[in-house]
A and B are shown apart, each in its own frame.
Chain A
C-alpha cells in the first residue's frame, strides 16, 4: 500500500514538465543601479538579470551601455535607462530599514538621492560656470562645506559597492578588448557628480512646473534672444533646458571669471581651515555682555584650531597649532570674517580694528546672532553656542496644561479639572509677570538669573490661556481624554501651533507613570472559566487588556505570531464578563474569513461558557432588530468583508467591545474596511495583530485611529511629521518621540524576549484551521458525491484505489482548486488555505523571520512559488526532488547566510537523508498533511536542529470541516490509529466501510465557506508595494 501511494505521487510529478532553468537560476538576485554622468542628460542605468522585476524598471526605456560587469570586464549590457528625477522620486521613497535587503547599489543611490534632496531643501547649492564638452555652460552645484555634510558624504562613499560607481571615466577611451588600462569613476567622484546633477535638474524642473502651472500645459521656459544682456542669458542658462552660456566679448569673459571666483569660498574644499565663531556667556554674573570670539579650525580635525588672539599675537604658537603659514591663515581669517559680516553685520565693527580678536555683544545683538546661525553655517562657518543658548537647551516660555489636581478617587466616568500654566526657568508666571516681560520688548532677557529667549506671540497666547483659569467651570475634560492627553505628554494647539506640555497630577499622574513603565497596575488572576493555563506573560497580557480598556483606552496587543493572542483576548473577555455581569451588549470580533473557523474552535476550546454567534453566511441576520434579538451578551464573530457589507446597520449597534483580529487588515486608513471599523460604536476597542505595528507607521496610524481617535493627529500631518522622517530619513529622535507617545497603548512581546522565552518550549506546534472558498466547497461536494457512488459499487483492489484517489483529490481541492483542476488560472482568493498562508507569511516577513513551507505536491509547490514570489518581491526558491545537488546547496547557503535572499523557501521533498540544514528558519508551515507524525517531524527538524538558538513555530494547516480536520481529529483521539499510520501511511482509510467513508468524506456543517472578500478593492489599489525595489 505504501508502494501504491508512492506510485501515485510519482505519476503526479511526471505529469508536470521539468522546471524551466530560469526558475532555478533565479536563486541569486541580481539588480544593479548606476548613475550615468552624461553631461547632457544625466540618468540612471538599471541592469542585471532581475532588473526586469524591479519597480524602477517601469520608469525606463530599454538601452544598452558598455560598463564593467560582475567580473570587472567591460561588456555591453542591456538595461533600463531611467530619467534622473523620476528615479530620485522613487529612490527616496525607500525606507531606511529596507536598505539592507535591497541590492547594494540601489541602497547607496537611494541614500545619495535623499542626500541630494536635503542639500537642495537647505539651499546648499550655488550657480557655477563650467566648461562641458568644450562649451561654456551654467550649472548648479551642491555646496558641501559643513562638517555634518562632509561626514555623511564620507560615510556614504565608504558604503559604495563597485557596481554603484564603476562607470568608464572617459567613454572615448573605452575599447572592449582592452580593459586593462581603463579607468572608472571613483565612488566620491561619481557621487559628487550625481549630487550636482540632481540639484541642477531640480532647478530646471521646478521652472518647467512653474510654466506649466501658469499655462496649464507643458511648455518650455520662454526662449531668450542671444543679444540679450548677460544677466538675462545667464538666468536663462540656469533655469531652462539649455545650459549653454556663451560670453559675448571681453566684458562677459571677465564676468565669467568673476562668477567663478564668487562661489569658490563655499564650493571647493580648497581651504583646510574654516572660520569659527564662538559665543560665550558674560564673564561676570551681573554683566550683560556676551563674548564672541573667533578663529580658525581644521575641517578634518576639529581639535586643530587657533584663536584670532593667538594668530595675531603669537605667530610662532599659531604656526605650530595649524602647521601652516601664519600670514595666509591671518588673511583667511580676515577674508572669512568679512564674508560673515554680510550676514552678521556687527562683525564689521570688530573688523574696524587692526587685530580683530573677539567682541562683546549686547543681548539684542546676541539674539540677532542667533537668527543668523543658519546663514553662517551655510557659508561653512562653524558656530559654537553656550549650552543655554543652543536650540534644544534654550530657556523659553513653556506652556503647560495641568490635569487631575485633586483627582482622588476619580474613575472613568469622572470629569477632571485642568488649568493652564506658563513656566519660565521653572517658575510659574502670573498674568502680571507676562505683562512685565512683554514690557521689556527684548527677545533675550535675564530672568531669575538665567538668560531666556522670549517670543511676543507666545507671551500673548500664554496670557490668553491663563485668563481661562479664572473660569474653572469650563476647564474640565473626560477621564479618558485626560488620560490619553497625559500619556501623549506634548500636544500641539491647533489654532496657534504652539506646543503645550501636559502634566498629570494626583492619582492621574501615578496612573500615567505606571502605564508608562509598562507595569501592569495589578496582576489579575486567570478567570476560572478559562480552560487553559495561561503562561505568566499571557496573564500579564490579559491584565493589561482589562485595565487599559477600563480606563476607556483602546489597546493593541501585538505579540509575535504564536504567542497566543487569541487565548489572552478570550481570557480578557471572560474577565470582563465577570466584572460587568449586567452588561448585555454584544461583543464583536472582526477577523479575516480564513480564520473564522479557527476562532470558533479556539473559543469553544478555551472558553466553552462564552456564548458565540457566527455572523456569517447567507442565513445571517440582515438588520439590527433581528441581530439584537439573537446576540445579547454574546460574542459575535464576523469577517471584514461582512463588516463592510452590513455596516449600514451594524454601525447603529452599541457594542460592549469591538475587537479586530489581524488588525493589519485596516492598515490602509482610507480603505472602506478601515472606515467601517472606525464607525463602529463600542465602549472598549481592541486590536490584535502579529505585525510589528511600530515599524509600519501608516498601519500604526490607522490602528491607533480606530483604538483612540485623534491621538496621533490628522493622517497627513502624521505622515509628514512622523512617518516619513522616521521611515525614509532615519530620524531616530522623531522615532523616539513617537515610540514614547504610543508605547502605553501597544503591548508587544517577541519570541526572543527573555521574559517570554523562558516560558516557551523550543518547538511550538499549532494547528491552523482555514475556511474553504465557495469554489472549493462546491468542487469538494461534487467530487465526494460522485466518487462515493463509484466506491460503493466497487470492491477489493479497485475500491482501495478509488478511495485513495478520492483522498488525494480532496486534499488537492483543500490546497487549491487550480491544483486539482490542473489549470494555470489565477491563484489569489480561490483557496482559504492559501489566503491564510499569505496572511501569516506576511507577518513572518514583517518581523524579519524566515520560513519553510512544505507541501507534498510538486505542482502545488510551483503554484506556491508563483504567489509567494509576488509577496516577497523576489523569486522564492523551490527545493524539490528534481533540484540538482549544486543548486540545492546554493539555495540552502543563501537561505542560511544571505541577508538579501528571499525569506521563504518552498520544499516538496519527502523527508530523507538529504542532510538539509535550514536553521535560519523560525517558522515551519505544513501546507498539506502527511498524517504521519514521524514524516512531519523529520521535515520540521530541518529548521529545528541541534544548534538552533531560537524557538521554532510549527504550523499545520488544514481546512475546517473537511477530510483534513476529520483525520486530524481521529489521530488525536485514537492512539492506535496513529501508530498504524506510522507504519502504513494512508492505507487504513481504504479499510473503512461505506458508512464510515461517507462520514469521513462529507463536508461538515461547520465548514466556513467564504463569500465576501476581506480586502476591499480600494485597499488593494492603494496597497501596491510601490516602494519595494529589487
Chain B
C-alpha cells in the first residue's frame, strides 16, 4: 500500500494533553535507537490497527494487525498500588476538591503528582522499565512496533479519560470517586435514592393523538413573550467558559479557532433582528440564490419532493 510514504514521514509529535504526553515520554525515554519502530508503531496506531484495547486493573491488553497479516497480542502491566497506599492517596485527593472537579471535567489536575509522592508512589511510569511489556510477535527488540502502537493508542485513550491512569494503578473511576467522597464527608456510604431524570424533549408524537380542532388553534399569551437584543459585545465567551475538550490536541483554543465565527453570526443575528443594515437582506439574497436555484421560474420545484428527511441523532447513540 502506501506504507512507504508513511515511513518516510518524520515522526511528528502529535499534540496530546499534558498527561497523554507524559505517558508517551515514558515510552520514548531512552529509546532513541528505535526511532523507526516508534514511527511504525505510530503509523499503526494512526491506521487503526490496534483493536480490542482493554484496560483492567493495572493491565492493558490489545490486538495489533501487522503488515504480515498476522495479529499479535500485546500486554502491558503496571505496578498496582496496595489498598493502604491507595487509601493515603485518596485521602490526599479528598483534601482538595479541585482534583475531583477537574477530573470530572475530563482534565487531569496539573499538580496530581503531589498526592502520589508523599506515599512514595508514581502515577506515571518514567520509562518502559517501569512496566512489564509482552508481545506475541517474534521481534526481540523492546519496544516492538506493536507495543509502541498500543502505547500511542493508549495515550489517546488517556487524553480522553484521565481516570484510566488510575485504572492502570488498580483503581476504577467509580472506586476513586466513591473513595474520595467517603473520605471527604467521613461517612462510610452516602444515602442513595432513585434519581429522577427530568423528561427529555419528546421529538415525535402520534398523529392520532392530535385533534383537528387544534389545527389553527388561536393561542393566547404569545405576545407576552419578550426578547432583548441589548447584549454585551462579547467574543465567544461561552466557548471560553467551556475550556478545551478532552483530547484537544491543537495549540489554539476552541475560542481562538471558532470565536470569529460566533461573533460574526452574532452580528448577523443582531442586524436581522434590529434591521440596522439595510444590505443585510440583500446579501442574504445571494445566500438564498445559492441554496435554491431556478427561483425565477414559478413552476413546481421537483427536487423539493425527494429531499431526504432523516432524523438526526447524536454520534454514538
Contacts and interface: CB of A to CB of B under 8 A. Distances in A.
Contact of A207 (B106, B229, B264): B264
A239 interface: yes
B125 interface: no
Interface stretch (B25-33, B115-123, B283-291): B283-291
Contact of A266 (B14, B238, B305, B311): B238
A235 interface: yes
Contacts of A378: 237-238, 241
A260 B250 contact: no
B201 A189 contact: yes
19 contacts: A32-B216, A99-B222, A104-B218, A121-B231, A133-B310, A159-B222, A160-B219, A161-B216, A184-B206, A258-B246, A313-B185, A324-B195, A334-B100, A338-B104, A343-B241, A352-B97, A352-B98, A354-B95, A730-B224
B201 A192 contact: yes
Scoring B159, B250, B315 by chain A CB atoms within 10 A of each residue's CB, the highest score goes to B315
A742 interface: no
A355 B257 CA distance: 36
B50 interface: yes
A166 interface: yes
A202 interface: yes
Interface of B: 14, 45-48, 50, 94-98, 100-102, 104-107, 153, 156-157, 159-160, 177-178, 181, 184-185, 187, 190-193, 195-198, 200-208, 210-212, 214-232, 234, 236-250, 252, 254, 257-258, 261-262, 264-270, 272-276, 280-281, 283-292, 294-295, 297-301, 304-305, 307-317
B247 A159 contact: no
A579 interface: no
Contact of B292 (A36, A81, A129, A180): A81
Contact of B202 (A189, A342, A728): A189
A159 B215 contact: no
Contacts of B275: 93, 724
Contacts of A123: 231, 234, 236-238, 262, 266
B204 to A, nearest CB: 4
A203 B261 contact: yes
A260 to B, nearest CB: 6
| Residue among A85, A92, A179 facing the most chain B CB atoms (10 A cut-off) | A85
B48 A72 contact: no
A720 to B, nearest CB: 6
A183 B207 contact: yes
A312 B273 contact: no
A188 B315 contact: no
A30 to B, nearest CB: 8
B300 A331 contact: no
A41 B201 contact: no
Given A99-B222, A258-B246, A337-B97, A83 B300 contact: no
Contact of A85 (B153, B284, B314): B284
A884 interface: no
A286 interface: no
A729 B286 contact: no
A71 B226 CA distance: 33
Enumerate the 8 nearest inter-chain pairs by beta-carbon distance, A residue then B residue, closest first: A338-B101, A262-B245, A189-B203, A159-B219, A351-B98, A730-B226, A335-B104, A258-B247
Contacts of A331: 100, 104, 177, 181
A199 interface: yes
B298 A62 contact: yes
Contacts of B250: 229, 231
Interface string A370-384: 000011101100000
Nearest to B244: A262
A573 B245 CA distance: 75
Nearest to A30: B216
Nearest to A374: B232
Given A83-B292, A171-B309, A731 B226 contact: yes
A348 B196 CA distance: 30
A169 interface: yes
A250 B48 contact: yes
A186 B202 contact: yes
B212 A327 contact: no
A218 B283 CA distance: 9
B101 A335 contact: yes
A338 B307 contact: no
A386 B14 CA distance: 49
A327 B105 contact: no
Contacts of B301: 61-63, 81
B250 to A, nearest CB: 5
Contacts of A339: 105, 241-243
A908 interface: no
Interface residues of A, number: 169
Interface string A51-74: 000000000011111001011101
Interface string A178-205: 0111111110110010000001001101
Contact of A104 (B217, B239, B312): B217
A150 to B, nearest CB: 10
B181 A327 contact: yes
A104 B305 CA distance: 26
Contacts of A202: 265, 268-269
A32 B214 CA distance: 13
A353 interface: yes
Given A189-B203, A205-B268, A339-B105, A355 B184 contact: yes
A438 interface: no
B272 A89 contact: yes
A354 B96 contact: yes
A65 to B, nearest CB: 7
A724 B247 contact: no
Contacts of A356: 97
Interface centre among B104, B249, B305, B310 (most CB of A within 10 A): B310
A904 interface: no
Interface string A219-256: 01000000001010011001101000000011100111
B287 A208 contact: yes
A62 B184 contact: no
Nearest to A231: B250
A155 interface: yes
A89 B284 contact: yes
Contacts of B50: 250
Given A123-B234, A251-B14, A163 B216 contact: yes
Given A163-B215, A249-B47, A325-B192, A258 B200 contact: no
A777 to B, nearest CB: 42
B295 A61 contact: yes
A63 B300 contact: yes
A330 B179 CA distance: 13
B204 A186 contact: yes
Contacts of B47: 249
A134 B313 CA distance: 9
A379 B195 contact: no
A118 B229 contact: yes
A735 B284 CA distance: 31
A487 interface: no
Given A61-B298, A254-B157, A331-B181, A206 B95 contact: no
Given A64-B300, A72-B215, A131-B317, 16 more contacts: A30-B216, A92-B272, A121-B270, A126-B239, A133-B308, A163-B215, A218-B286, A229-B250, A249-B46, A250-B50, A319-B193, A327-B190, A335-B101, A338-B105, A341-B98, A375-B240
A78 to B, nearest CB: 7
A132 interface: yes
A482 B26 CA distance: 80
B261 A238 contact: yes
A163 B218 CA distance: 11
A72 B292 CA distance: 30
A163 B289 CA distance: 28
Given A323-B196, A337-B97, A130 B313 contact: yes
Given A206-B267, A339-B241, A41 B207 contact: no
Interface string A467-493: 000000000000000000000000000
